[in-house]
Structure 1
Amino acid sequence: MPAARESLLEAAGAALTARPWSAVRMVEVAAAAGVSRQTLYNEFGGKAGLGSALVRRETERYLDGVDRALAAPAPPAERLAAVAEWTVRTARAHPLVRALLTGYWGADLPLPAARAAGPGRLAGEVRDRAAAALTPGEGAQRCELAVRLALSYVIVPGQEPGPGELLRLLSAPNPTAGGR
């Protein structure tokens, strides 16, 4: 039942925006999705399974945005800046993505599956995708910089970078790389 599964994930995501995960009730999620509670349990096995699926879905949505930014017909620095900007915007808007990137799982969020845990896993996936999308001569070495720069804006919130600010930082020559 792919439609029921997606409806349940949408309903769970909406419930999570309204209240902490501990206050989300399976009966309410099922009712909001228009399915029986038994269907929810058949699809996910329980609240933990639903939470893990929700985390997985948010991860996939985030990585889809990364892939779109990397596939854009633009110079490498612009694509990396787009990845960094997408990371900042998405992490600020989606607590599950922020938790995956930073490793901070407050009590108000569902826990990920054990293999998804760890703040470096998602950042490493973004770095690897960027390195694969760029040829070595295009500046694939800047992938790690783009991810880390974006994470600094996520971890220490402040004014969101202005248009082109991340591009300027990523395009600037690296004064410390001369001897490497």
Structure 2
Amino acid sequence: MDARERILHAAARLLTEAGGEPVSTRAICSAAGVGAPTLYHHFGDKAGLFDAVVTHGFEAYLAEKRATPSSGDPVEDLARGWDAHVEFGRTHPAFYTLMYGSAKPGKLPAAAGEVHAELVKQLAEVARAGRLQVEVELAAGCLEAGVVGVTLQAITQPEDPDAAMKSALVRDALLDVLIVGRKTPTKKKGTSAVAAQLLVLIEDGADELVEAEVALLRHWLARLSGRTGA
């Protein structure tokens, strides 16, 4: 590894070992075998280093996520993705706390945007099949809020014997609300699910309509799919 990589890995390791306690740049430099000028050259300051550690953490998470083969069922993949997300946080608590526990208003790491895009892609597949009850972005926001909350609680309460059960209950409650027919096969597809499906299909291509017509149709469908503020 070059000096930059050594600093990143040293910072991540020390943060993990610190268990939430502050880590000094002096300790990071010592562990990486570099001087302070090298750290400042690559990252600018301590905040810049920790931002880079956050990005590194997201990239590690994405690598694990993309290496997992699909089950062939987009809904099952959502459930598996939830479990993998929680497990990543429990396995890499320092990374995860920096990634999600130190959020800055209006600032989202680029890698976090990629994680969101992967989730949106999965949900779009569910919507194309007519199984999503609400608009894709709304569903993504609900799932992200749920899984991040569950993971942060699991990190702060590592000895909780009910952590896995809590995660499964929250996961299934959200998926049962968002997905048509999950564990309730007799449930009929409602207007909101049809609207969410059409929204995705429009994004796939609506060459027959002019731009103004597409915009108006998106507005109507967004309202029908549950985006009451649309």
What's the TM-score, normalizing by structure 1?
0.67
Percent identity between the aligned chains? 22
Q: Give the corresponding residue for 1:172.
A: 183
1:16 aligns to 2:27 (yes or no): no
- Structure number with the bigger relative contact order (C-alpha 8 A, sep ≥ 6) is 1
Q: Give the corresponding residue for 2:83.
A: 85
**CA 1:46–1:155 in structure 2 vs 1: closer, same or farther (change >3 Å)?**
closer
Q: How many residues align?
A: 169
Question: Is residue 67–residue 129 contact of structure 1 (8 Å, CA) maintained in 2?
Answer: no
Q: Choose the corresponding residue for 1:153, options 139, 150, 153.
A: 150
Matched position secondary structure for 1:116:
coil
Question: Is residue 130–residue 140 contact of structure 1 (8 Å, CA) maintained in 2?
Answer: no
Structure 2 unaligned blocks of 5 or more: 155-161, 177-181, 193-230
Structure 1 unaligned blocks of 5 or more: 106-110
CA distance in 1 between counterparts of 2:60 and 2:6 reads 16
CA distance in 2 between counterparts of 1:27 and 1:152 reads 33
Query: Which letter does structure 1 place at the counterpart of 2:18?
Result: R
CA shift, 1:129, in A, is: 3.6
Q: Give the corresponding residue for 1:108.
A: none
Question: Is residue 131–residue 189 contact of structure 2 (8 Å, CA) maintained in 1?
Answer: no
Q: Which has the larger radius of gyration?
A: 2
CA distance in 1 between counterparts of 2:152 and 2:24 reads 30
**CA 1:146–1:156 in structure 2 vs 1: closer, same or farther (change >3 Å)?**
same
Q: Give the corresponding residue for 2:63.
A: 64
Question: Is residue 12–residue 95 contact of structure 2 (8 Å, CA) maintained in 1?
Answer: no
1:1-180 → structure 2 map (5 Å cutoff): 3-19=2-18, 23-69=22-68, 71-93=69-91, 94-98=93-97, 100-101=99-100, 104-105=101-102, 115-116=107-108, 124-131=116-123, 136-137=128-129, 139=131, 144=140, 147=144, 149-151=146-148, 153-154=150-151, 157=154, 158-161=162-165, 171-173=182-184, 175=187, 178-180=190-192
Query: Which letter does structure 2 place at the counterpart of 1:66?
Result: K
Question: Is residue 126–residue 147 contact of structure 1 (8 Å, CA) maintained in 2?
Answer: no
CA distance in 2 between counterparts of 1:149 and 1:176 reads 25
**CA 1:156–1:179 in structure 2 vs 1: closer, same or farther (change >3 Å)?**
farther
Deviations 1:53-107 (A, max 9, x none): 01111122223333334x4253222211111101111223324425644xx43xx
CA distance in 1 between counterparts of 2:106 and 2:19 reads 21
**CA 1:155–1:8 in structure 2 vs 1: closer, same or farther (change >3 Å)?**
closer
Over the aligned positions, Cα root-mean-square deviation in angstroms equals 4.0
CA shift, 1:160, in A, is: 0.6
CA distance in 2 between counterparts of 1:155 and 1:12 reads 21
Query: Which letter does structure 2 place at the counterpart of 1:150?
Result: V
Comparing 16-25 with 81-90, greater Cα deviation is found at 16-25
CA shift, 1:150, in A, is: 3.1
